[in-house]
Amino acid sequence: MIFSIDYKKGQMEMIGLVIIVILITLGMLFMAIFALKADPEKKIFTRKGLAYSTMSALMKTTISETDCVSGYSGSDKPQFGKDIVEDCAANFDEKPGGYSQYRCSGVHSCVFFEMKTTQLLNMTLGAWHKNYEFHSQLVRASETKPVVLLDVKGGSGCAKKDRDSSGLFPIQAGDAGLIENVLYLCD
Amino acid sequence: MIYFGKKGQLHMTETIAVMFIFFVLIMFAMIFYYKYQQVAFKEKQEELLGARAMDKTLKALFLPELLCTKGEAESEDNCFDLMKLRHANETFTKYLTNYYFSVFSYARISVLQLYPEQKEFLLYDKPKPDAVSGEKTYFVVILKDEIVGNSLPQYNFGYVMVEVYS
């Protein structure tokens, strides 16, 4: 009799234990669901679109500084991506004080490239409190390792995990090689 | 006899304590769930507002009234024509109630040129009278100026800002 009561009591305690385990499992499951909830599609789309549009606009911008080419009296001004970045790649080894075809604001095209990129990204993404990373590198046929032309970080930069990219914006810089520009954007 | 009574009382107290803790836990769970629902509702509202802002931004970005065109070729990506932009406000104001309100509803759309010089073009402004908050969406665009360049147009750097109200 005593054994039977003890046995039933043991069974009840076991049931209680099982219920607690089930409740804890359910709680953890809910927490995992909330924690692993993916970013809303809209946020990702906005970030990707913004990264692409920023990069595309930056590369297309016409440089309005009047002193880019000394002695040139024409009215056509250099384009940021096509002319300045390309010139920077072609004359990268002469940086910062040496020769470059364009000398906007009196500086080497690589210095100007850095100055203008930092300024324009700061005025847009920086002002909107976005973290970003701009990376530009030159892939030369003669070298296996690409040469870094420019690295600009805004805010705390971007971790590799949660970021969106503008995609590669390649520019063929004649004999100098291929320039690869990319903008990473994260919150 | 007294011993058994005390044992029964002890069991009763134990059961009451367990029940009390159980109900306290249930209460905590309910409070947590209520708070979570409140936050989730707010988040959902913000998400919907954000989606609306995004929708309006996309509509603004692809407006033929502003897009850069190249004759019969495809229009340029993320590009507004400054010649159209300079006079867009007149058109937007003129047809605000007839047409643009059905496209943009309560919103404010402006284009800001940052480089070479800073300029603002207000395109559309229809504030909601009882608006509680607003959501701003930005998109970087290029502003094509065909008057300045000789053979090539000049591309200026700017952004479009769309603010929707809730």
Share of chain A above pLDDT 70, in %: 87
Strands B79-81, B134-145: pairing is parallel
pLDDT of residue B108: 92
| pLDDT given at position B134 | 81
Report the pLDDT averaged over residues A56-68.
88
Helix (H, G, I), strand (E, B) or coil at A42: helix
Residue by residue, DSSP assigns A78-112 as PBIIIIIIHHHHHTGGGTTTS--S--GGGS-HHHH
Q: Which residues of A touch B159 (CB under 8 A)?
A: 124
For B30-79, what is each residue's pLDDT tens digit?
998 898 888 888 888 888 888 888 888 889 989 988 999 877 777 888 89
As a whole number, the mean pLDDT across chain B is: 86
Cβ contacts of B7 on chain A, cutoff 8 Å: none
Residues contacting residue B145 through CB under 8 Å, at least 6 positions apart: B82, B83, B153, B154, B155, B156
Q: What residue ranges do the domains of chain A occupy?
A: 40-186
CB of B55 within 8 Å of a chain A CB? The answer is no
Residue B51 forms contact with A (CB below 8 Å): yes
- What per-residue confidence (pLDDT) applies to A1? 52
Q: How confident is the model at residue A68 (pLDDT cuts 50, 70, 90)?
A: confident
pLDDT score at B160: 93
**Does the CB of B138 have a partner CB in chain A at under 8 Å?**
yes
Mean pLDDT of A93-122: 88
Chain B residues whose CB is inside 8 A of the A43 CB are 50
What confidence score (pLDDT) does residue A159 get?
78
Rounding to the nearest 10 degrees, give the CA dihedral for residues B63, B105, B123, A118. -80
pLDDT value at position B157?
95
A61 min Cα distance to partner chain B (Å): 5
Q: Is the pLDDT of residue A101 over 60?
A: yes
Query: Of B146 and A34, which is predicted with more confidence?
Result: B146
Task: Say how far residue B23 (Cα) sits from the centre of its chain.
Answer: 42
pLDDT above 60 for A39: no
pTM of full prediction above 0.90: no
Name every chain A residue with its beta carbon within 8 A of the beta carbon of B51: 42
pLDDT tops 70 at residue A74: no
Q: What is the pLDDT of residues A156-182, one digit of tens each?
A: 888 777 788 888 888 888 887 899 999
Instruction: Name the least confident of A42-46, B47-51, B84-88, B142-146.
Output: A42-46
B21 has a chain A CB within 8 A of its CB:
no
Q: What kind and span of H or E run contains B55?
A: helix B2-61
CA distance B67 to chain A (A): 14
Give the residue from A23, A37, A42, A104 with the most B CB atoms within 10 Å of its CB, the best one to mutate: A42
Nearest to A50 among B140, B148, B154 (CB): B140
Closest residue in A to B80 (Cα) is A57
pLDDT at B19 over 80: yes
What percent of chain A clears pLDDT 90, i.e. is strictly above it? 25
Q: What pLDDT does residue B8 have?
A: 82
Answer whether B139 sits within 8 Å of A50, measured CB to CB: yes
Instruction: Count how many pairs of residues, chain A against chain B, have C-beta atoms within 8 Å.
Output: 70
Q: What pLDDT shows up at residue B80? A: 93
Interchain CB distance below 8 Å, B141 and A57: yes
pLDDT at B159 over 90: yes
> CA dist B50 to A51, A52, B54, B144, B164, Å?
18, 19, 6, 28, 8
Does the beta-carbon distance from A42 to B159 stay under 8 Å?
no
Mean pLDDT taken over chain A: 83
Q: Does B77 touch chain A (CB under 8 A)?
A: yes
pLDDT tens, position by position, A117-156: 999 999 999 999 889 999 999 998 888 888 899 999 988 8
Chain B environment of A49 (Cβ under 8 Å): 139
Q: Would you state the pLDDT for residue A71?
A: 58
